[in-house]
Structure formats: structure tokens, C-alpha cells
Amino acid sequence: MSNPRPPFLLAIFITAFLLALLLFAAPLITSGVSGYTGDANEGQVPASGGRSNSIEMQTNITATVEALVPTPFSTEVFETAVAVEDAVNESITSYPDPSFAATQTAVDAVQEVAAPVVESEEFMSFVSQVTDGVGDLPRGIYIEGQFALPILQQPENDAMFVSTEDGTTTLFSSAAKQGITGLLAHNYLSGLLFYNLQAGEEIRIVYGNGTYRRYVIEGVYSFQRMNFDTLSGDFIDLATNERMSSNDVFARFYSGSEHVTLQTCLERDGKSNWGLIFVVAWPMGEGVVSQ
């Protein structure tokens, strides 16, 4: 068992602790009083020693704040912000109306995309030749490096008519009723030119008012006629060997969405009407082009 501590030692320890606490708290109490300038007891005035401690503490606080927030840094940030604001204001005031600048940029971009295609003098000369002021009728077909042919109309109520004038094509009225531009030609005249066409070539259909549409050839299709005594007999697709009726052939090439179909007879084995050739071209996308 340990011996109990003497009472006088405990008293000395408590006394020393109280003295230390008093010495530590005295400056704080004094500084608090020094900050007091008056309230309900206006006659109370801080002691001179308290004022000295207050000044010293304020100095220390100021130094601490300056250390935490350096004045040069704050000034630099402020000056940078002002410079940025001035630059922004200058860029905005360069346009009287900021929305005008954005609108003008958009218009310039659209104009750049929609810039008219520069055509050859040969093509423009052909356009002027076939223009007659009737805007809803095809008046000419032009294929660069191949041919430029005027388009003639079939007589009313004669859908079997094909012009015998060389250097021309004939608008197929039955196809036109379906919204398709069908052009016919005999293979011993202008139709012979259809044999040279290939997929990927561009076709331009010119209208009577000088506008035109662009198409690209999708494919060339050949058929053998099975009955030479009638135009309504069956045909054989030479690429697939599929047998099709004349109505099926017509529906395949002269129905659906708007496109161009060129048709002529295929000559083989000494027969000028041995079969048929169809050249199909689809719109390139920009619609009617006006020069």
C-alpha cells in the first residue's frame, strides 16, 4: 500500500497552480478592458498598461492578417480582373450590336455552303439553247463528255411515240404521270449513246426556265425480249435471269420516288429490238439549281 501524500504538499501544489492561472489570464483580462471605451458606466477608463497591451495585440493581428493575405497578391488579382474586363468590353464594343456579329457569321457560312456551282461554258451554252420559258417541262439532257440532247414531247394520247429525229430524246408521258423523268431514243439514233453510260456519271436535266437538276447514274440494266411479236411480252433480266412481265419491268423503272430513266432497245444477233437497256439515275440532293 502506498503512503498518503502530506497535506502541506497538496496545498503548495494548488497554490502554485492558481498563481500560474492568474499570471496567464491577467493580460487577457487587461486587454479586454482596454478595448472598452464606455457603456452605461461611461466614467470607467482603461488603465495605461491595458492600452499598451491592446496596441501590441492589434499590431500582432495586423501582421497575421497581412501574412495570410499578402497585399501584392490581392492587387495583382484585382488588376488582372480589370484588364480582362476591359478586353471583353473592347471586343464587344467593336460590334455595335453583338447579335449582328453572330448573325453575320452564320449568314457567311450558309452562303459559303450554298455557293452556286461554276459550270462550263459548253453546258451554259446548251442551257440557253433549250430554254423556252416553260419551267415545269424538261427541255434538255446533258452529260459531261458524253452528249447534250434536247428533249421532245410525245404527241397527246400517243405514249408509244419515239422521235425519229437524230440528236434528240423523247419524254415518256406515261412515266411523267408517275413523277419520273423517262427519256426514250431509238438505238440506231441517239439511243446508241446510252450504251456508253456507266454508274457514277452525272446527268443534268435542264428545264424550260433555265434551271436544272443533277442526278448520278446508279446502274445500267439489260433485258432480253422473249416475244418479238408484241411489246407486252415477258423479259429476262440478263444480270439475274429473272423472268418479268412487261408490267413488272415498267413498275421497276418508272415508279417510286423521283428519278431519271433512260431507255433504248438492245441490239443482238442481228435484231435491233432483241432487248431493252435501262439507265437509272437518282437525284444528287440539291434539287433545282438556278444560274
Q: Please compute Rg for the chain using Cα positions.
A: 50
What band does 136 get if pLDDT is binned at 50, 70 and 90? confident
Query: Alpha-carbon distance 189 to 174, whole Å?
Result: 22
CATH H superfamily, domain 121-289: Sortase (2.40.260.10)
Sign of CA dihedral 211, 215, 220, 226: negative
Q: Is the pLDDT of residue 12 over 80?
A: no
Q: Is the pLDDT of residue 13 over 70?
A: no
Q: 12 CB contacts (<8 Å, ≥6 apart)?
A: none
Mean pLDDT of 261-273: 95
Q: 148 CB contacts (<8 Å, ≥6 apart)?
A: 122, 123, 126, 140, 141, 142
Query: Alpha-carbon distance 264 to 133, whole Å?
Result: 29
Query: Alpha-carbon distance 183 to 172, whole Å?
Result: 6
- pTM, rounded to two decimals: 0.60
pLDDT digits (tens, 9 = 90+) for 224-263: 999 988 878 999 999 999 999 999 999 999 999 999 999 9
Q: 264 CB contacts (<8 Å, ≥6 apart)?
A: 184, 185, 186, 187, 191, 192, 194, 195, 276, 277
pLDDT at residue 37, as a whole number: 42
Please choose, from the candidates 190, 192, 189, 153, the residue with its C-alpha nearest in 3D space to the C-alpha of residue 171.
153
Alpha helix ranges (H) inside the chain: 7-34, 48-68, 71-93, 98-113, 121-130, 173-176, 246-253
pLDDT at residue 181, as a whole number: 98
Highest mean pLDDT among 107-111, 112-116, 171-175: 171-175
pLDDT at residue 232, as a whole number: 83
Highest mean pLDDT among 45-54, 190-199, 222-231: 190-199
Task: Give the start-to-end residue ranges of the domains of the chain.
Answer: 7-68, 72-113, 121-289
b/e for 173-199, b at 16 or more Cβ within 10 A?
bebbeeebbbbbbbbebbbebbeebee
Q: 147-153 and 169-171: which strand pairing?
A: parallel
Count of positions (residues) in the chain: 291
pLDDT digits (tens, 9 = 90+) for 142-166: 999 999 999 999 999 999 999 999 9
Q: Is the pLDDT of residue 289 over 70?
A: no
Q: Is the pLDDT of residue 99 over 50?
A: no
Please choose, from the candidates 244, 283, 242, 241, the residue with its C-alpha nearest in 3D space to the C-alpha of residue 260.
283
What band does 61 get if pLDDT is binned at 50, 70 and 90? very low
| Three-state DSSP state, 10 | helix
Which whole-number Å values give the CA distances from 230 to 161, 234, 245, 246, in the listed order? Answer: 16, 9, 12, 10
Mean pLDDT of 201-215: 96
Q: Is the pLDDT of residue 42 over 80?
A: no
Mean pLDDT of 2-27: 61
